[in-house]
Amino acid sequence: MPYEPLNISTPVPVLSWANHELGYEELKMAKNVAALPFVFKHVALMPDVHLGKGALVGSVIATKDTIIPAAVGVDIGCGMAAVKTPYSADQLEGKLKKIRSDLEAMIPVGFNENKDVDKTAGNWQGWSSFKDLHKGVQDLKSKAMKQMGSLGGGNHFIEVCVDTENQVWLMLHSGSRNIGNVLAQCHINSAKELAKMTNTYLPDPDLAYFVAQSPAFAAYWHDLQWAQNYARYNRDVMMARFKKIVEKHLAGGKPMKPLLEVNCHHNYAEKEVHFGEEVYVTRKGAVRAQSEDYGIIPGSMGAKSYIVKGKGNAHSYCSCSHGAGRLMSRNKAKNQFSLDDLLAQTQGVECRKDRGILDEIPGAYKPIEQVMENQADLVEIVATLKQVVCVKG
């Protein structure tokens, strides 16, 4: 489905790839962003768009000489990693419980961290510049080092998947953990304080921003890039452990040669050129989909996921959705669905089956097939996956 301009009066248009009308609060959030004087050209909303903080999750915002910390969000660099293995689905028979057990033993989830700093994590070159980060995180280095190689909670997950050709894939979703969250909060608060000091009018306090060339902008941009790199490397560390576990069970420990590897952010900002101008592009719950870019669009646990290749659609700022997108809040999902619903909707998946993850039930998310149909002009599907093991925090 091609985009449709929202029927709202704003200084720049809002183009939507969602096939549904936005609710009052969602429209208000879209209007607030599109009303900012530095927003470039238009705002793009992906098919999985839903309420966020300050800006909609599933929005792509290009800005001239400014950056909005809350639009990037608190899980800086959150994203996906996937590996296509040389193994076939029949090799998994009888081994799913053991693989899940090893994953839960080897990769900390939720608020947990590694007991010791992983050797690979300790060698990350980003530690050398930790002292240059915001003063609000200077006592968190030890925690950040131990959390490198950990999953987190919420909608973060580790999955063994099988594609339509019975090939086994490894997939995981995680971000910059506590260190990214604290860095983001420090800079969001600084932006809000700056707006108050300068009497800057904002339609929403969460849209407080920094102006390029200012010390505050430079500090945030430095920390943002650091956290994005931390998040990417965090996924690399976990994926290395994931590979070893699967190699142990499917190949007697013999190292495998991946057939395809993808690692992409979906909560981040970068400087890019669009419509002939250099702008700062914030993807809040969106994946870069330049021509030939590989991306990952997961469904909910129990639903399909997709490996895609970008088509470089200029109107979306070369972007696509980052998942199915929530249909309802976590509290509403817990109130509306039962444990029996969870069991039915995750049938055939080796995963937790308890009330602790009821808010992640597939029914709480939009149908991924419809989301994919709505962005046929943004990406082409390379592989369609279905999970057989899912680990959550």
| Binding site listing for Mn(2+) | 75, 156, 173, 266
Q: Quote the tokens at residue 291.
A: 């021509």
- Closest by CA to 84, choosing from 153, 154, 163, is 163
Catalytic annotation, pick one of 249, 265, 315, 322? 322
CA distance 368 to 58: 14
Say how many Å lie between the first and final Cα of the chain, rounded. 35
Question: In Å, what is the CA distance from 231 to each residue of 83, 195, 206, 277, 287?
Answer: 17, 29, 23, 28, 15
Collapsing DSSP states into helix, strand and coil, what is residue 298? coil
CA distance 282 to 56: 11
CB 7 within 8 A of CB 22: no
Binding residues for GMP: 155-159, 266-267, 298-301, 305, 322-325, 392
CA distance 379 to 293: 9
CB 366 within 8 A of CB 374: no
- Closest by CA to 105, choosing from 115, 90, 95, is 115
Binding residues: 75, 155-159, 173, 266-267, 298-301, 305, 322-325, 392
CA distance 330 to 131: 37
Residues with Cβ < 8 Å from 201, sequence gap 6 or more?
Answer: none
Q: Quote the tokens at residue 296.
A: 């990952």
- Strand runs labelled E in the chain: 4-5, 14-16, 39-50, 57-63, 66-67, 79-88, 157-163, 167-174, 210-211, 260-265, 267-274, 277-284, 286-288, 294-297, 304-310, 319-321, 379-392
CA distance 255 to 246: 10
CA dihedral (324, 312, 306, 74) positive or negative: negative
Whether 322 sits among the annotated catalytic residues: the reply is yes
Which residues are annotated as catalytic?
322
